[in-house]
Structure 1
């Protein structure tokens, strides 16, 4: 079923509703959208907890000075992998939310002051 078919089917179903039920359906649809937006916003705004961000900063500084031991190097890589996945999740959420709000991703990104590629 194509996007157009789904849209047409939804229109047909809405047209069959008794007028007194239309308001309830609209509220229900809005709540679905609101739930989706809330979940997406949580993903977009997700950050490391302060103590983990502090540890990452320490490891980054030590890495720049070439002072990491093997254990710290592995810990640093683990943080980097985690941040990379968060950035992928954040970008996917930005794209989905931009579609829901019918705006472009750069504009939405500016609204959240998010730098999806920063680590």
Structure 2
């Protein structure tokens, strides 16, 4: 029996307008219990990938699933228990990274 990845991205792409692709044909499996880092040049699609993975953007092509469940179902968001804090918009600017993680763990 195989364990579903925490996050599965298959053939994911996001297009703006008719020709400008921000991300295309991206595939990734993030195993449960793991932490990853996204590394790449400015404009490589890291932020777009994260926004697609948590449901802030809707993909042009491909699929995103968390723990085996599709993120997008019948035009509704499928993710209700994911926390995301963008680096440019910190939730609490005076918190350290450790304090932010502790706070996140303490929310019911």
**Which of the two has greater strand per residue?**
2
The verdict on a shared fold, with TM-score over 0.5 as the criterion, is no
**Structure with the higher fraction of residues in helix conformation:** 1
Superposition TM-score tier, normalisation by shorter sequence: under 0.3
TM-score (norm 2): 0.25
Greater relative contact order structure (CA < 8 Å, 6+ sep): 1
- TM-score, with structure 1 as normaliser: 0.24
Asked which structure has the greater CA Rg, the reply is 1
